[in-house]
Each structure stands twice: as C-alpha cells, then as structure tokens.
Amino acid sequence: MESRRLTMQQNSKGRPQGRNAPPRADAMVEALRGLGYTTATALADLVDNSISAGASQVEIGFNWYGVDSWISIADDGRGMNDAELFSAMRLGDRNPLDARGASDLGRFGLGLKTASFSQARRLTVLSIKDGQSSCLRWDLDVLASDPDGEWHLLDGPESSSEPRLVTHTAQSSGTVVLWEQLDRIVTEGFTSRHFLDLIDDVERHLAMIFHRYLDGSGPGIELRLNGKAVRPWDPFLSSNPATWRSPESSVGEGGLRITSQAFVLPHKDRLNDKAYAEAGGIEGWSSQQGFYIYRGRRLLVAGSWLGLGRGRSWSKDEAHRLARIRLDLPNDLDAQWKIDIRKSSAHPPAALRDQLYRLAEDARDRARKVFLHRAHSNSSLGRRDEVVPVWQSRETVTGRRYRVDRTHAAVKELLDDAAYGTKVEAMLRVLEETIPVQRIWLEAAEGGEHAKGGFTGEPDDSVREVLNVIYRSLVEKKGMSPSMAKRQLLRTEPFDLHSELVKNLPDNISKD
C-alpha cells in the first residue's frame, strides 16, 4: 500500500489552516443549561457581576404569574455601552487566563449566560451608561427554530417585556437582567407556595455567600429581595464572645500564599434556641463544618474538609461540628485551586495540603473538646477554665467505659454522707453499667443533635433548688467563702450554664 505523508497547510499568517467548526447554537446552549446551577447559585453569579461593576445597591425581584412568572436583578453599577454589552452577552468572549482586577469576581466569561440559561429560556439585559441605554436578548426558542444552528443575539426587548424594564430606565447608570419563560423553575405542579419557598432559599443562600459584603466590615453592597434587605449570615459567629478564634495567619509560600483563620463555635448550651438554629446554616450544623473558601470576600465553598485526612478523608461528624476555618484566596489562584464555572467548588494545591491538614487538625481537636467537655470561659474568673464534667470516659480492655466523677461537687456531697454514701455508690454503679450508649448514639445521629438535658435552657425552680443546696453545702460544710464557692460552681457542670444565677447567690450565708 502506498504511504502518503500528511502535511498541515498554513495560511498567509503562518498559522495552521483548518476548518472553522463553531458549535450549533441550539445544541450548545441546551448543553450549557445542565451545568448544575440552582436558582440561588445562578442569582449569586449575577450579583457577582453587579459587584464587579461597582454597584452599591442590588435589587432582586421575584414576580409570580404562573407560567409567565419572571425574575429580575437590577443594580446601580457603572453600566455598559452597546459594545460592552455585546461583549458581555457573547459566550466565552474573555479568556479565563486573562489577568483580572482584584475586585473582579468573574473568570470564565460565561456566568451571566450559563446562570441565566439554566433557569430561563429568555434572557434580556438592559444597561445604561452615561445616560445612554442599550438592550440585547437571547431567546432559546429562536435559537432552536434555526435549522442552521446560528447564534442570533437579538436587539431590544420582546414587546411584552418592556413594562418589566421601564422602571429602571430613569437612572443614569446601571444594569437590569430579566429572566422570562422560567421553564426550569415553574415546572408541572409548581405553585405560588413553591415560589415563596424558593424566595426563602435564595435569601438564605445570598445571605451566606455575600455576608462579608453585607455586614459592614468593608466595602459592600445593599442587597434587597422583593424590597426586603438581605441580612448577612456569619458562619463563624464572630460577634459571640464564646467563639474561639485563632490569629490570622498565612498558609503557603510565594505565589500560593493565602490567609487563614480558624474558629470553634460555642457549645449549644451557650446559645439560645434562635441563635443555635441560625448558626446551623442552610445545611445544618454537621454539614456546615470545615473550610470556608473565599475569593475576593465572596464565599465559594461553605463547609468542606477538602479531602484532607490521614489514610482516608475526614467525614463530617457530630464531634467536629463546631470547627469552621476561613481561607481567603486572591483571584489569581483560580487555576491552582481548580475553581469551577459555578464558583461552588475548589481543590487545594498539593503544596498546601500538609499545612491545611495541620491547621484543620488543631481546629478539629479544639472543637471536639468543646463539644464533649464544654470548655467554659467566664470573664468573672479572669482566665479560661475547663468545666468539671459529671461524666468521665476511658478506654479499657473491654471497650470504652463511662463513669460518674466521684469528685464532682454534687456527687461528693452525697457520697460523704454517712447515711446515704453506700447506697448512692451502688446506684451510681447501676447507672454506669446500664448506660444505653448505642441507643443514645443512634438517636443523636438520626436527630442530628445531641440530647438536651434538663439543666439547659432557661433555669426553672428545680435548677435553683439544686444550685442552692450545693452552694450552701460548699459554704457551710466545706468551709469555703461565698466567692470561692461561686468560683467552683462556675467551673462545675451543669452549673456553668447558669452563671447569672451563680453570681446572684447570697454572700451573707453563714458558715458552721
């Protein structure tokens, strides 16, 4: 068989000569609709664009009209002229490898389009710059009807869309994005009740993703949803004095350097019911543990152990639910961290994994101690003290054993009583030998939280009665001064939960 040498032809500029093979518009767009956006993550991508455009106010509107429902997002940013809007509406107009400004939250040049297509079949963008307006739209039905698969970017809004844009034309600059034909949202059986639930989901997501833009800690935005201001959700409970935090530190060297800070949130007993429910976040306490990765103060990953661990990756478990670690990345590390198009996943470079492991291991260890022992910090003590627990655990040849601490103030008081000490010891042994460990573990796993004792929450008469009995015993029988007795109670479980009650115990109690 005669062999033939294949040569690559070149054009007049010395570049390889080949066939131009643009993708069919209808096929390409339908494929891009499956990138995995939710309504909340798609809207977050659009808020990114508003922030990058220097907006100070962003208003999102959900409007329910059945299958004709629509969603808009408007900002007061610097806007775009016709050429800039054309570039923004073009898919992949900017190379992801291009350098970007430090405050630019974009990367791939696809976010506006892919986020919008994932939710709606018609995308209209009106932008005003220097008082001049420009408007372009994509209509997926128009693309689908073209037999040649051409890319038809249409000028101006659909006539039925004009009233939905007119309220924004009075401002001198800004942009409004309009989603219509919400076929990925208003599906069969979708009702106004579902629409309201969706609004709540979006609000919680945006409150988390942009909390550092909403909390007043730096340059930020006012973000409103159907006229209601979105309140920030701080995953680290930074304002709570019981939250432990490490100093800010650097991880990595040279071009890979990032900033980190570890947090251990307070034990449940340090929070009221409302604060505890809010701190659990969108996914709940166990799911929200781990690393929080920010890029330009914008949250990308909300709780993940990033595949770290020794032997096997750490899982999210109850014991480490209080550990949350903040990582701040500059946007020139997108490729090294493998930031995806949706800006919802990241993977640390191999050179940083050992440092991140040590950082997380320390935070996890601290979180486990707080979860199990409720490390207690009380300003009246002048230092950090470990709460004396009622229960102790230790490993034996037959497995882990749980015992009541005989030196605990309430327990020792009874054991020292000549009339009852022997009987109390017998009762404690029965309790220790019959603890339903497996049942407690199963119910905690199923319920997503640990059991709540009667001494947690607001104190009642039984709490006050027990507290007074122990206090009088420490003063009258043990010879402690009132101040010393109060100090001991503040370091003793479960009285540490009621520091105000302890502080208000009378000082004029007599000592026999």
Per-residue CA distances from 473 to 346, 411, 418, 511 (Å): 57, 12, 15, 9
Residue 352 or residue 464, greater confidence = 352
Q: Where are the beta strands (DSSP E) in 382-450?
A: 383-385, 391-396, 399-404
User: Mean pLDDT, to the nearest integer, of 21-50?
Assistant: 91
- From the list 206, 417, 384, 390, the residue with the least C-alpha distance to 298 is 206
Q: Is the confidence at residue 451, as pLDDT, over 90? A: no
Nearest to 49 by CA among 117, 119, 125, 122: 125
Q: How confident is the model at residue 268 (pLDDT cuts 50, 70, 90)?
A: confident
- pLDDT band per the 50, 70, 90 thresholds, residue 107: very low
Mean pLDDT of 50-59: 94
Q: Quick check: 98 pLDDT over 50? A: no
Give the pLDDT confidence of 350-379 residue by residue, as tens digits.
999 999 999 999 999 999 988 876 544 444
User: Given the structure tokens 């607001």, which residue do they identify?
Assistant: 458
* Distance separating alpha carbons of residues 132 and 83, to the nearest angstrom: 12
For residue 321, give the DSSP letter: T
Note the pTM of the prediction, 2 decimals.
0.75
Torsion of CA 304, 307, 313, 319, to 10 degrees: -20
3-state SS, residue 229:
strand
Mapped onto helix, strand or coil, the DSSP state of residue 232 is coil
CA gap 45, 40 in Å, rounded: 9
When the pLDDT of each residue in the chain is averaged and rounded to a whole number, the result is 85
**Percent of all residues in the chain with a pLDDT value above 70, rounded to a whole number:** 85
Q: What is the pLDDT of residue 343?
A: 67
**E strands, 184-322, in order:** 222-225, 228-229, 244-245, 249-251, 258-264, 290-295, 298-304
**Amino acid, res. 290:** G
* Distance in angstroms (rounded) separating the CA atoms of residues 268 and 456: 9
Given this model, what pLDDT does residue 270 score?
83
Encoded tokens for 156: 């101006």
